[in-house]
Amino acid sequence: MLGGAAAADANGKDGAISPAPTRAPPPTANRAALPLKLKLLRPLLLLAVLATGFLAAVVLLLGGSTYSVLPRLSVPDALSSAPSSRQPRPHPQPQACAGDGGGSPLERRARPPAGAWHNMTDEELLWAASWQPRIGRYPYRRVPKVAFMFLTRGPLPLAPLWDKFFAGGDRALYSVYVHATPGYRADFPPASAFYRRQVPSQVAEWGQTSMCDAERRLLANALLDPGNERFVLVSETCVPLYGFPVVYHYLTRSRQSFVGAFDDPGPHGRGRYRAGLAPEVRPEQWRKGAQWFELDRALAVDVVADDRYYPKFREHCRPPCYVDEHYLPTVLSVEAPGRIANRSVTWVDWSRGGAHPATFGEADVGEAFLKRLTTPGKEQGTCTYNGQPADVCFLFARKFAPSTLKPLLALAPKMLGYGG
Ligand SMILES: *[C@@H]1O[C@H](CO)[C@@H](O)[C@H](O)[C@H]1NC(C)=O
Ligand SMILES: *[C@@H]1O[C@H](CO)[C@@H](O)[C@H](O)[C@H]1NC(C)=O
């Protein structure tokens, strides 16, 4: 939303504006020496100033239009162009930083920390992550990255599938963060996208505030890399439904963040509202949505820096009020209603009923099932993307049991567009 388009715009504009001063008034020395001529020149000067302003406006308009065209690319566009234009690359060593040794001083300063681990407390981390430049345009070439934030208890059984997915993307376009139960040490080979990507963690219990703490901790860790522009939360049971280029373009070209939010008048919706949340949140502002969010950088900073709503949710929203189902949907609907799509990009199957969505096992995963998940008009449903009707609504799906790894690896090249 901000990154690539904004950077390109800034660069293009600087170049385009520079010809304008050739029509500017003559040098001061001449005018001081010839006061009479100055009087004659005055209308000309005025004209020149007007012309310069007009030129600047034209340049702005032109610049503005390229800026707005980029994110408006329709979803089918992203789908058809992306996979063919980018050949899957072999996975480079994660230690090799893009542009090591080169780049401007700013680019060097904007480089991500070498590893994901650090010694900061949560308080220090959230503070460090809440910094943001107030000038929106980057004065260097910044290619926006997507941060994939894995919230997991222990192992990541589907990591080999994700590694196939990441191998279809350039290392400079994504980053990975893993928040696991404290004490759990993931052991990935250096070639894996998960290698040394674990962040310091705390116990996170489903339905408790500690779960939302973990989400904010993940966001804060990912914000430490200034290159990250989109932040997507996934779990160990999630799988990508399309190849990396499709997912990357879908997220980075979206003008909105993908946070599910709806008004449920029933006991599991507004019934969970707590009077203590007023006046910050009124009952009619109460929203519900799935935990699996996707945020742009500006909203991610707002979330880690929030000291207005979060303390109140922590105090008043206790089970059966679930912070992870209500905090983000409610607060973003109050503070930034136009900037969220009110929908998630993670598909889940509630059709079997009950308190938990369906978990798919080895026997469920076949060609027909994956086709249903990825074909427009089937499980993808209908939605809008940048204000236009779209038929790709979900980029990820859950919940997949560890036993699905084998069939998924086998079918991914043909059915999901990666791993071939
Ligand atoms: C964290 O602290 C320990 C000891 O206090 C130190 O050995 C280690 O290098 C530190 N790690 C980082 C990433 O600063
Ligand atoms: C999301 O819902 C809010 C109301 O909570 C509304 O103002 C906004 O327009 C909706 N956004 C979309 C993309 O439908």
**For residue 50, is it within any domain?**
yes
Q: Are residues 134 and 259 in the same domain?
A: yes
What number does the ligand 2 atom closest to the CA of 384 have? 13
What number does the ligand 2 atom closest to the CA of 263 have? 5
| 156, containing H or E segment | none
User: How many domains does the structure of the chain reveal?
Assistant: 2
Start-to-end CA distance of the chain, whole Å, equals 30
**For residue 362, is it within any domain?**
no
pLDDT in tens, the chain (420 residues): 333 333 333 332 222 222 233 333 333 333 333 344 444 445 554 555 455 544 444 434 443 333 332 233 344 444 443 333 333 343 443 433 444 456 788 888 888 888 999 999 999 999 999 999 999 899 999 999 999 999 999 999 999 999 999 999 999 999 999 999 999 998 999 999 999 999 999 999 988 999 999 999 999 999 999 999 999 999 999 999 999 999 999 999 999 999 999 999 999 999 999 999 999 999 999 999 999 999 999 999 999 999 999 999 999 999 999 999 999 999 999 999 999 999 999 999 999 888 889 999 999 999 999 999 999 989 999 999 999 999 999 999 999 999 999 999 999 999 999 998
Q: Which residues contact 238 (CB under 8 A, 6 or more apart)?
A: 158, 292, 346, 396, 397, 398, 399, 400
Q: Are residues 204 and 127 in the same domain?
A: yes
**For residue 378, is it within any domain?**
no
**For residue 377, is it within any domain?**
no
**For residue 384, is it within any domain?**
no
Residue 185 has which token pair?
């040490």
Output phi, psi for 240, to 5 deg: -75, 140
What number does the ligand 2 atom closest to the CA of 287 have? 5
| 223, containing H or E segment | helix 209-223
297-305 vs 122-129: helix crossing angle, rounded to 10: 140
Which amino acid makes up residue 104?
Answer: S
Ligand 2, atom 12, lies closest to the CA of: 341
- How far is ligand 2, taken at its centre, from the CA of residue 103, in Å? 41
Q: Are residues 149 and 287 in the same domain?
A: yes
**For residue 62, is it within any domain?**
yes
Residues whose beta carbon lies within 6 Å of some atom of ligand 1: 117-119
- How far is ligand 1, taken at its centre, from the CA of residue 120, in Å? 10
Domain limits at 231? 93-344
337 lines ligand 2 (CB under 6 A): yes
**For residue 405, is it within any domain?**
no
Residue 11 has which token pair?
């660069």
115 lines ligand 2 (CB under 6 A): no
- Ligand 1, residues 119, 120, 196: which to mutate, most atoms within 8 A of Cβ? 119
Q: Are residues 305 and 165 in the same domain?
A: yes
- How far is ligand 2, taken at its centre, from the CA of residue 108, in Å? 39
Q: Are residues 169 and 284 in the same domain?
A: yes
